[in-house]
Chain A
Amino acid sequence: MVIEIADVIISGLINGSVYALMAVGLTLIYGVSKAFNFAYGSFYSLGGYIAFLLFGLSFINNYFLVFLLAAPILLVFGFFVEKVLVAPLRKRDDWEIKVMMITLGLALFLDNSFQVIFGSRMKSLPPFLEGGFEGGNFYLSHQDVGIFFLSIGGILLFRWFLNNTRTGMSVRAVAQNPAGAQIVGIPKEFVFAATFAISTVMVGMGGILLAQKYFITPMGGWDILVKAWVITAFGGMGSIRGGLYAAFIVGMLEAFVGWYFGMTWTLIVLFAVLLTTLAVRPQGLLGKWG
């Protein structure tokens, strides 16, 4: 019993850490540009498929190279999606709904392209670390530990980027006051595209990390989109710290509900918790209106 509960807590922590990485990406776009990205889940699958393709290349045999190559691909992809699809809509009055529509169209396009290119069968990635810690009935794989630390590392790296680099500071400035940021000479359009690109990298990396455990499927991103979305709303849209707390709460909740009631209940319980939170605190745990 104790070991079972320990297992559940560990799985909650590991999923929570990856969710945190992805939710921070989603909350970042919303916080900075108020745009909502429906294709976020497809970018998750895209990350997984890029890694799958990279592993098909003969000279690639470890994850370090995969991350090194996948990150720039995702970065450029995200940047161009923002520049070509989202940016032209921004000058319209009803651009929020138009952005939701166009990203939904993009999601349909990407998901079905994956289906045609890779087939609907599940694809798997090799585990990125072998072996594990053992002790009696207790088993903790090195892979899980690695995923946990990589996700946390990614978030810390992102935090460092926001606080200490010029681009990161301009991202924060645009998030706080777009007009003011523009007046002091920050290229607003570039910052929007850059945040979109960074968030694409974050969710794509999440895809590569989780694909080792849960496989890659063409439609697998929707589940992730809803979870990342629930986490951001739960923690407060635009609040990175709120997203972080919410991700671990959701990861734990999911692990315990799945263990106790069965996996079909996890979404229902998540939704119930979200609704209750929003009914009491419409802006989420740490969010602000605006």
Chain B
Amino acid sequence: MDHRRISFLLAVIWTIVAVLPLFFGGTNFIMHILIMCLIWSVVASCWDLIMGFAGIFSFGQVAFFVMGSYASAIISAQFGIPPIFAVFIAGGITAGIGILVGLPCLKLKGAYIALVTFAVHMILEPVLKGEIGRAIGTGGTRGLLTIEPMTIFGYTFSTASPVPYFYLMLLVAVICSVIILVVIKSHWGTAFLALKDSQEFAACLGVSAFKYKLMVFALTSFLTGMMGGFYAHYVGMLSTRMLGIDLFVTLMVILVIGGVGKFPGAIIGAFITIAINELLSPLGPYRPITMGAMVVILVLVLPDGIVGLFERLFSKKPHDITH
């Protein structure tokens, strides 16, 4: 897709989302779900950027999210920094860790990168629960139960009236999506395409794989960590349960539904997936089974996601973004 069509799609999506509180503003439950949709749409878009566009099989997205949320909560609690700044500091910390994880990954290929990043995810839980975690104030197995709510200019957002926080998150999500769009359509995006097609040839033409890949690690982990911070100050409590496989797969479903490497797709996917997830909740223990089966079936029948499906229906040259 060209940038005009993506911008148009983004404008349509965000306009529709922006008017939703007119209908659901009175129901806190639905507003809560919508806020989650906004948060996950940014996280999934970041994952799409690193995996779909940059072609790096990073599986550490949830880990970065959890790191950001813990970092923001701890910073605001221990140093008395207002949450709105703590969120960005947490993003910075996560970006630093992202670069640290990214550095060894740049020498590696495909499945090895998946291993290293997924290993970060797997060891985060023992670290947060263990002695190291307790030393920096993660609360160990109990988690963090009282996290300062978000405050801007003396106004405190509360979970009791979620509409203001919804608009704050919408603003953040719009800014993040614009950043991602700019990255995709700038020379970064072109560099990624070149690197994905042939790393050797791109390197010969002077495209630095090292620089671009490290930058995308830093950017996506910054945005993801920041969203983690916003999440922490919204829900007010954290535990390592987020690191379970459930959330990880939910994010993956978002990407599968939206389409990998089909940028605004991840945002659409987030809204559809979270809605399905909530609709399936009466199924109880059968919900994760259904989600798992859904991933399997969707990957087979809808390999390019919803956006890919529409591209095939409405465009004469399909896959113009990946080829």
The reply to whether the CB of B176 lies closer than 8 angstroms to some CB of chain A is no
Stretch binding the partner chain, chosen from B5-13, B85-93, B121-129, B161-169: B121-129
Residues of A within 8 Å of B295, CB to CB, are: 101-102, 104-106, 108-109
B255 contact set on A, CB distance < 8 A: 101
Tell which of B111, B126, B285, B322 touches A93, judged by Cβ atoms closer than 8 Å. B322
Chain A residues in 8 Å Cβ range of B291: 105, 108
Among the listed B127, B252, B322, which residue makes an inter-chain contact with A94, where contact means beta carbons less than 8 Å apart?
B322
Report the minimal beta-carbon distance from B59 to chain A, rounded to whole angstroms: 8
Most chain-A CB neighbours within 10 Å: which of B109, B291, B295, B322? B295
B51 at the interface (CB under 8 A from A): yes
Stretch at the interface among B185-193, B208-216, B219-227, B296-304: B296-304
Most B Cβ at <10 Å: residue of A105, A116, A279, A282: A105
Contacts of A230 in B (CB 8 A): 115, 119
Q: Give the nearest-CB partner of B104 in chain A.
A: A279
Task: Using C-beta atoms within 8 Å of the partner chain, give the interface range for chain B.
Answer: 35 or more
Whether A143 sits at the interface, judged by CB under 8 Å, is no
Asked whether any CB of chain B lies closer than 8 Å to the CB of A83, the reply is: no
Whether A208 sits at the interface, judged by CB under 8 Å, is: no
Name B258-301 residues within 8 Å CB distance of A.
260-261, 285-286, 288-289, 291-296, 299-300
Q: Is the CB of A36 within 8 A of B111?
A: yes
A30 on interface, CB distance cutoff 8 Å:
yes
Known contacts A36-B111, A279-B107: A101-B299 contact under CB 8 Å: yes
Report B-chain residues with C-beta under 8 Å of the C-beta of A271: 119, 122-123
| In contact, B289 and A109 (Cβ under 8 angstroms) | yes
Q: Looking across the interface, which residue of chain B has its beta carbon closest to that of A223?
A: B122
Contact across chains for A282 and B119 when beta carbons are under 8 A apart: no
- CB of B70 within 8 A of chain A? no
CB-defined contacts of B260 to chain A, threshold 8 Å: 94, 97-98
Known: A278-B104, A278-B112, A279-B107. A105 touches B296 (CB 8 A): yes
Q: Is the interface of B mostly helix, strand, loop or mixed?
A: helix
Say yes or no: B130 contacts A264, CB within 8 Å. yes
Give every chain A residue within 8 A of B123 (Cβ-Cβ).
Answer: 267-268, 271
Partner of B115, one of A104, A106, A233, A267: A233
A157 located at the interface, meaning its Cβ lies under 8 Å from any Cβ of chain B in the complex = no
Once the chains are docked, how many angstroms separate the CA of A237 from the CA of B111? 9
| Chain B residues positioned under 8 Å from A219 (CB to CB) | 245
Interface string of A74-111 (1 = CB under 8 A from B): 00000000000100110011101110111011111111
Judged by a CB distance under 8 angstroms, whether A215 is at the interface is no
- State whether A102 and B261 are in contact (beta carbons under 8 Å apart), knowing that A226-B118, A230-B119 are contacts in the complex: no
Residue numbers in B under 8 Å from A226 (CB-CB): 118-119, 122
Q: Contact: B292 with A108, CB < 8 Å?
A: yes
> In chain B between 293 and 323, which residues have their CB closer than 8 angstroms to a CB of chain A?
293-296, 299-300, 303, 322-323
Asked if residues A109 and B286 are in contact (CB atoms below 8 Å), the reply is no
CA distance A108 to B285 in the complex (A): 12
Shortest Cβ distance from B234 into chain A, in angstroms? 26
Contacts of A108 in B (CB 8 A): 245-246, 249, 288-289, 291-292, 295
Q: Does A176 contact B (CB under 8 A)?
A: no
8 A-B residue contacts at CB 8 Å? A88-B300, A101-B252, A105-B292, A108-B295, A109-B295, A112-B288, A115-B285, A279-B107
Contacts A109-B296, A278-B104 supplied; 13 other A-B pairs, CB < 8 Å: A89-B299, A96-B57, A98-B299, A100-B114, A108-B245, A110-B292, A112-B292, A222-B122, A226-B118, A233-B111, A233-B112, A267-B123, A275-B116
Chain B interface residues toward A at CB < 8 A: 51, 57, 104, 107-112, 114-116, 118-119, 122-123, 126-127, 129-130, 245-246, 248-249, 252, 255-256, 260-261, 285-286, 288-289, 291-296, 299-300, 303, 322-323
